[in-house]
Structure 1
């Protein structure tokens, strides 16, 4: 087996749960580590000489121009996150290189978090939180989750993980996907071109699709108006998929019973954002899917498997499709 060089770039300090250490790379590689050479650098202080000799790159939030100029020998660029919209289009990729992502590593925690949030929305928890702030007693009852229809816009690893946890509770699962196909967790499936047929079914709308040119602004004023009165929304995808100003209006006028956002157009959400004070809106600071323990290890397991596949000449996992945008 030939030796190979891995260039690791960290934008965050070692104490961060997103920091990729040399030891983490070695542990993920297993027996392959004997043939590896690892160069770990801060994004602020790159080693261009090492990058120019590297076979593989691991990082997140990286400068694509830097890789285009100095990563001409790279075979795999692995992103330790699932979203890759910031790297589109892929015209910066060195010839022969492939971009891979960490899609799928969020399903375990994100599935549980999504279950919690959908149950909270269907039970009217945002209203109870608002009433607590106002010292108001309102004991209106909600119907059980088994009476609810949950519509998912995007049914990949994350959306289906939430659905699989909801299914034993009796909720009806409707999936909206790019192709109009979905796994067995869905009771009904629509293509995204049929979105307007799916939205009126929703007691709760879960937005869990990638951010691409075609999904940016996908859920706007017109789409929110199609939801049944009293429906709720949870965005666990990317902020720009949902028009948050239109969402705020729907909450303020009472057409929507509640919403939860874990993603925003701008992050961190500015302290002076109007969203903080929108009634019946739960705000989470983009923490739904990432785990304080083991997140990087799960990302690196995909990378290490792809190194092994590459050395054997086999197809790679999680290869980003430049046309689809994810």
Structure 2
């Protein structure tokens, strides 16, 4: 962005009533966000609508659109005619379902809410590692089967966790795990070091890293390169009795392979937060897979502060746009995130 705004920008906030209220921009939440950005209302006019009932206003007058773009069929192609649109801010971080961005008008870009999931997502990730160490998926299965058995465990100190996908969430989980005494291995696309990771590797070393881990935490974004990233060969590479946790999109996993490795006890337990189909169908075999805990895609959102953090990113980017500075967390379609 290299042009300062010569007028107040029109920011359209599109609430979707079909999604949980955690994603709604209420007057209180908008006010809380704007209090941190004195003078922003001099730069931008905020309009809040519901279920795109103001679609004509969005197409004709909007400079910036803030929306979840989910839960309600939205005529994305109509945005190609939004000649004033500078950028769309997506309430979320996984944008695989919006690619390719061929519905965006020429020159417009997309930003996302990277980092808004903290610290809840990091706490959720750490919780899953502690639950796996304490065999909680195994105990839940035993409870379901009315079976009284005991397993005694040792502390997590000195045990190894492999974080596959060291982005914002993976890096934060690694930091909390390290504070508790885990040795942290990491795999990321760039292979670049991270302050919370003891040893970092590129994707080519995935199987070698999996073989060293007592626990695997999967937080890779869904792209063409990561679709079914973790399958039978990868599970076979893990130590017998390893624990597995995933906060990634469901398409990053081979579910048949996961079920098989839980059923034959190669994995001691698994906790998963994202699925191929949501909600998980009632007839899905996942419900009855032993030593598997399913959480209904709730591991990354703070019910009180998530949308305020998303709005904070929006407000910072409005100021950056007006100042002619690069936008934070801009989507890179060629990478898929």
TM-score per shorter chain, which class?
Answer: over 0.9
Quote the offset at 1:243 in angstroms.
0.9
Structure 1 residues 26 and 133, CA gap change in structure 2 (3 angstroms):
closer
Contact 2:14 2:52 in 1 (8 A): no
Structure 1 residues 68 and 228, CA gap change in structure 2 (3 angstroms):
same
Q: 1:222 aligns with which of 194, 209, 233?
A: 233
Quote the offset at 1:170 in angstroms.
1.0
Structure 1 Cα separation of the partners of residues 75 and 251 of structure 2: 22
Quote the offset at 1:66 in angstroms.
3.8
Contact 2:218 2:246 in 1 (8 A): yes
Q: What are the residue-to-residue correspondences of 1:241-280 with 2, within 5 Å?
A: 241-280=252-291
Contact 1:174 1:186 in 2 (8 A): yes
Quote the offset at 1:96 in angstroms.
1.6
The residue that corresponds to 2:49 in the other structure is: 41
The residue that corresponds to 2:222 in the other structure is: 211
Q: Is 1:4 the counterpart of 2:12 in the alignment?
A: no
Structure 1 Cα separation of the partners of residues 221 and 199 of structure 2: 21
Q: 2:26 aligns with which of 21, 24, 42?
A: 21
Quote the offset at 1:22 in angstroms.
5.3
Q: What are the residue-to-residue correspondences of 1:52-71 with 2, within 5 Å?
A: 52-61=60-69, 63=74, 65-71=76-82
The residue that corresponds to 2:3 in the other structure is: none
For residues 4-59 of structure 1, the C-alpha deviation after alignment (integer angstroms, 9 at most, x for no partner) is: 11112122269812112356445534311134223322235343134321110000
Quote the offset at 1:270 in angstroms.
1.1
Structure 1 residues 97 and 26, CA gap change in structure 2 (3 angstroms):
farther
Q: Is 1:32 the counterpart of 2:10 in the alignment?
A: no
Structure 2 Cα separation of the partners of residues 172 and 18 of structure 1: 35
Contact 1:77 1:99 in 2 (8 A): yes
Structure 1 Cα separation of the partners of residues 57 and 117 of structure 2: 34
Moved over 4 A (4+): none
TM-score by length of 1: 0.95
For residues 89-132 of structure 1, the C-alpha deviation after alignment (integer angstroms, 9 at most, x for no partner) is: 12222122110000111120011111111011122111122222
Q: Is 1:318 the counterpart of 2:326 in the alignment?
A: no
Q: 1:182 aligns with which of 193, 196, 200?
A: 193
Higher RCO (CA < 8 A, seq sep 6+)? 2
5+ residue gaps, structure 2 = 1-5
- The count of residues paired between Structure 1 and Structure 2 equals 326
Quote the offset at 1:136 in angstroms.
2.4
Structure 1 residues 172 and 15, CA gap change in structure 2 (3 angstroms):
closer
The residue that corresponds to 2:299 in the other structure is: 288
Structure 2 Cα separation of the partners of residues 15 and 137 of structure 1: 38
5+ residue gaps, structure 1 = none
Which sits farther off after the overlay, 15-24 or 68-77? Answer: 15-24
Structure 1 Cα separation of the partners of residues 197 and 272 of structure 2: 23
Which sits farther off after the overlay, 51-60 or 21-30? Answer: 21-30
Q: 2:158 aligns with which of 147, 153, 171?
A: 147
SS of equivalent residue, structure 2 residue 312: helix
Structure 1 Cα separation of the partners of residues 297 and 82 of structure 2: 31
Q: Is 1:123 the counterpart of 2:134 in the alignment?
A: yes
The residue that corresponds to 2:312 in the other structure is: 301
C-alpha RMSD of matched pairs (Å): 1.8
